Structure 1
Amino acid sequence: MAPPAWLPPLNSHENSVIDVLISESPTPDCSQINANDIPSNFYIGLHVYVSFHPEDDVDMKIEFPGLSVRIIKPVNVENPEILVTSLLDIILDEDIIPFQLEDFFYREYNLHGNPSSWFYFSHPNILIEKLKDFILLVHRKPENAGRKLVGVNVEIRRSVTVPKEEFESWVNWYDEQKRVYPDFEEEYMRAISVPRDPDDVLDESVSLMWRRSARRTIVRELESVVVKVDDDGGGDSSEKSCSICLEEFRPRARATRLPCRHVFHEHCIGRWLAGNHVCPLCRRRLPID
């Protein structure tokens, strides 16, 4: 099957928390990496992870994965100026980290593997300075002197809070895709392991500013219909129940039909459109002009 046509928007929700964790890594996370392929004997193993959580999950134990990108970047540790330039290129690369590294929490594991306290920082330059100092500590560690390949792992986690109804809609869509396509779960995980298109990420950020007004326009222009349920149970299953809440339509109930002809409860699609401009079932984009 083709890769999923829809992935969670990374920058369309305001409420999020960013954690940055740094630790020493004697060997690369990815076992397929060949030391001979890295021009320097020192590397950064970067893992950028974005997860989504329903707003009522205070402890953030329930999540929907949106991005999980791992890359290996060689760095020059012999020249501090070149090292800082390399770190700037990595941390500020929107292809790799598709969100602003501002207002984040930082923790590092010392050379004995013990974690520090969490620290709050508000600018990526502070992270670059911290990362530079940690890399030089690892590089100068006596035990690493004879190793062919030494590295530092940098994990950047962004936890995004979304409305409960929207989160449930995503989960319902995901479960439905798994039911229809046996290989969907594998395809989805493969899709979120690839960096997003920077233009798409920028569009998400811009759309956040006018989504609420656009949503009101969309809802006003959608078609209101009366649901007809066949007594014999025939017909398309998508017309018998709302794919957002998964509840069956009551006979003669009012519902909303999208341009793609899919039908949903009025209150369900209204909440969905507060954060999305696509059909929850087929992912067709809705007109917003």
Structure 2
Amino acid sequence: MHARMAPPAWLPPLNSHQNSCIDVSIQEYNFPESHGVLFNLDVYVDFYSEEDEEEEFVFPGLAIVYRIPVDVNDPQELEASVSELILDEDLIPFPLHDCFWTQQQLHDIPTTPDWIQRSEEAELVRRISDFLLLVHKKPENDGRMVVAHLEIRKTVMVPAEEFASWVSWFDEQKRIDPEFESTYRNAISGPRDRSEVYQEAEFLMARRPAKIELLQIVIVKGGEDGGASVSEEESCSICLEGFDNSDGARLPCSHMFHESCILRWLQENHVCPLCRHELPVDE
């Protein structure tokens, strides 16, 4: 349904953790400048540490915003359109079999969350369709643009040690590449179909250590690499410091780092921090 590029390999795995819940909420807005019904769909996946009881620190994994006008004149066609949208695995790359549902009309308080169970998947489609019909038929919305904002948010709890490694990896990438945070935000805002999500190897997120003893690392002593001088401008991409009076290590991909920096990195990763060249791993 959607033309898109393949997602980067380092995005977090959306369906690999069982400790999760899904909240689905729909709200009504209206605008006097136009008329019709606009359907706003926001889909999020947020990761938290299992030890973060207050859920204060979030690691975002998906943030998709989708806007589409809908035709509410034919209830059957409307329900079919909603069903197609909700089952679109590019937009929602995780199953919606079990979720908490809330709805809120304009000027009303939200309803008490209802639990929609596995056997009631069609119930979610029905509730969304009924809400769209309800707000469209309200007399106060005559001649106005009605917006139904549907938010689907999956919250995933990750073991504390794994979560800490994700954060450490993210901070490391930001230090290496000042534009990485923006690159990451753009990456998680793109569609990811469910088959890709299920097949994602955790790659960098898995933090699999490299088999250091098998690596072809060339030690650079005092700025000399096999008799060839290292450029004075060259620096370690991990700590951003130069190689003056310190040892360096060059990976098979030819990227060079301080020996201490790259060995510490390879204790938790099996790729070059610059080019993602894969290295042997400890099984």
TM over 0.5: yes
1:240-251 aligned within 5 A: none
Aligned to 1:68: 63
Aligned to 1:19: 23
Q: Distance in 1 between matches of 2:126 and 2:21?
A: 21
* Partner amino acid, structure 2, of 1:23: Q
What secondary structure sits across from 2:55 in the alignment?
A: coil
Q: Are 1:222 and 2:211 matched, yes or no?
A: yes
Q: Are 1:131 and 2:128 matched, yes or no?
A: yes
Larger Rg, first or second structure (1 or 2): 2
What secondary structure sits across from 1:45 in the alignment?
A: strand
Q: Are 1:54 and 2:54 matched, yes or no?
A: no
Aligned to 1:255: none
Q: What does the per-residue CA deviation read over 1:49-106, in whole Å, with 9 as the maximum and x for residues that have no partner?
A: 0111111112322110111000012222111100110011010000110000022111
1:89-168 aligned within 5 A: 89-123=84-118, 124-147=121-144, 149-168=145-164
* Number of aligned positions between the proteins: 241
Give the aligned CA root-mean-square deviation in angstroms.
Answer: 3.8
Structure 1 portions without partners, runs of 5+:
28-33, 241-257, 273-277
Aligned to 2:10: 6
Aligned to 1:195: 191
Distance 1:146 1:54, change over 3 A: same
8 Å CA contact 2:91, 2:193 repeated in 1: no
8 Å CA contact 2:16, 2:198 repeated in 1: no
What secondary structure sits across from 2:48 in the alignment?
A: strand
Distance 1:56 1:237, change over 3 A: farther
Distance 1:185 1:121, change over 3 A: same
* Partner amino acid, structure 2, of 1:14: Q
* Partner amino acid, structure 1, of 2:23: D
* Partner amino acid, structure 2, of 1:222: K
Aligned to 1:254: none
Q: Are 1:176 and 2:169 matched, yes or no?
A: no
Post-superposition shift, 1:109?
1.1
Q: Distance in 1 between matches of 2:181 and 2:19?
A: 27
Post-superposition shift, 1:259?
8.9
What secondary structure sits across from 1:177 in the alignment?
A: helix
Q: What does the per-residue CA deviation read over 1:4-59, in whole Å, with 9 as the maximum and x for residues that have no partner?
A: 652111112221110011100225xxxxxx97xxxx92121000001111111123
Q: Percent identity?
A: 42
* Partner amino acid, structure 1, of 2:134: L
Q: Distance in 2 between matches of 1:286 and 1:155?
A: 40
Q: Distance in 2 between matches of 1:280 and 1:13?
A: 26
Q: TM-score, normalised by structure 1?
A: 0.69
Post-superposition shift, 1:179?
2.0
Post-superposition shift, 1:164?
1.3
Structure 2 portions without partners, runs of 5+:
1-6, 224-233, 240-250, 256-261
Distance 1:92 1:284, change over 3 A: farther
Q: Distance in 2 between matches of 1:157 and 1:264?
A: 36
Q: What does the per-residue CA deviation read over 1:241-260, in whole Å, with 9 as the maximum and x for residues that have no partner?
A: xxxxxxxxxxxxxxxxx998
